[in-house]
Amino acid sequence: MSAATGTRAGLTTRISQAAGRAGDVFRGWPWWLQVVALYCGSRLAGAFIFMAAALHQGPNPWFPAKPDYWNFVNIWDARWYGEIVINGYPSELPTDDSGNVQENAWAFYPLFPALARGLGAITGLSPAASLTLVAMLSGVGAALVAYALFRRKAAHAAALWGVVFFATFPVSAILQVPYAEPLTLLLLAAALLLVVRRRYLWAMPVVLLMCLSRPVGVPFAAMVGLLLIYRLIQRLRRAASMASAPGGHTSRELAGLAALTAVSGASALIWPAAAWAATGDIQAYTKTETVWRGHDLVPFKPWFDTGVQLFGPVLGVMAPFIFAGLFALLLFSPPVVQLGVELRLWCACYMGYLLMFLHPQTSTFRMLLPLFPLALSAALLSRSRAYRGTVLVMFVLLQIVWIVWLWAWAQLPGGGDYPP
């Protein structure tokens, strides 16, 4: 063996030994420190991708070319949240000369900017800095609560890998920018954890706050409503068969679940009602939301329109049905079944909500984040290190694609750009 070959072999051995020692140290940490370390590592990787993409950012509507990291992450909807922190919401809907409602702050829910405004008042931080800090802290909290939720369904290693997949998902870079997604995911994970633990009354204030962060109240109310029906049927079947098997809901738990269903449904209407009260227009929220899509809201229709544009008049009409069928099959796959009825119902209701109300576009990728329980299913699919490592690498590479393609601004031939 040559000296060079021996040197390389020795170096490889030392690296392997160092990695093994680092792994032993990591495994000795408490679970929460492991989760925080992995999450912060994923956000550091995201920061490097953002900084590299910023070096190639050309002229844009917000700042000069090649911005620094902090300017680069404070664009798109982050500017709307900053505007809300400073000026609040308009008392009248802005319109053009033809009376058509224009883009305005009522499309953005109030909890995230309210927390940033409070933090800024206490610390003196600028709106952009306050929003960024709230988002980053919320992201750490979301990872911790997601792990606690995953541990209800899987062992420590699988739950930890579920958090890794959640934190490195191709659109997870949104968790470190001044968007409301991290806060919503924190509250959603907490609400789901409380539902899984049957702490329905404790879930009520969490759901109320969640419904003031982003529009996820409707699918959550549908989920707990269907869960109530499911538990009632279970109760009736047990009563009919005179079964005494453990695990059924008590009358008190069913009452709590019914109350949570009512609270969730009412909470989903709070923000549209607030927009109505402030502007005097009962359709203030829906008019504002539909400005970005360019036409009125017609349930399901945008998916068929997009399908026809992408795949033609025949396959395009079939595409939404094929997509919905494939997702339904996914929910009955063994790794997803292991999530339990609550999390599967949430995924089904949220995807149904997107199919009913969402206008499919490039922002749709970001809107898939509330399906984060499926990250645990991805981890449960195989224990193979090769499989899990491959998924991790693929996710990080797709983060580069998402940031360069959608976050970085490049004007389209017809004007504007694809939104992230």
Average pLDDT for consecutive 10-residue bins of the chain (420 residues)?
63 70 85 97 97 94 93 95 97 90 96 98 96 98 98 97 98 96 98 98 98 97 97 88 69 96 98 97 93 80 91 92 96 97 98 93 94 98 96 97 94 83
Rounded distance between C-alpha atoms, residue 352 and residue 374, angstroms: 15
Rounded distance between C-alpha atoms, residue 127 and residue 325, angstroms: 44
pLDDT at 207: 98
Q: Is 415 left (phi over 0), alpha (psi -120 to 50) or beta?
A: left
- 101 bridge partner residues: 95
pLDDT at 340: 96
| Burial classification of residue 202, based on how many CB atoms lie within 10 Å of its CB (0-12 exposed, 13-18 middle, 19 or more buried) | middle
CA 215 to chain centre: 11
Rounded distance between C-alpha atoms, residue 353 and residue 365, angstroms: 15
pLDDT at 241: 77
pLDDT at 2: 62
| Burial classification of residue 279, based on how many CB atoms lie within 10 Å of its CB (0-12 exposed, 13-18 middle, 19 or more buried) | buried
Residue 32 structure tokens? 């929460």
Among the listed residues 225, 253, 31, 231, the one whose alpha carbon sits nearest the alpha carbon of residue 146: 31
b/e 246-260 (16+ beta carbons within 10 angstroms → b): eeebeeebbebbbbb
Query: Which residues 6+ apart lie within 8 Å of 407 measured at CB?
Result: 50, 53, 75, 76, 173, 420
pLDDT at 97: 84
Among the listed residues 75, 39, 40, the one whose alpha carbon sits nearest the alpha carbon of residue 54: 75
Residue 114 structure tokens? 């309210």
Dihedral (C-alpha) 26, 138, 397, 165: value to the nearest 10 degrees? 60
CB-based contact 289:107 (threshold 8 Å)? yes
Rounded alpha-carbon distances, angstroms, from residue 326 to 111, 236, 322: 35, 32, 6
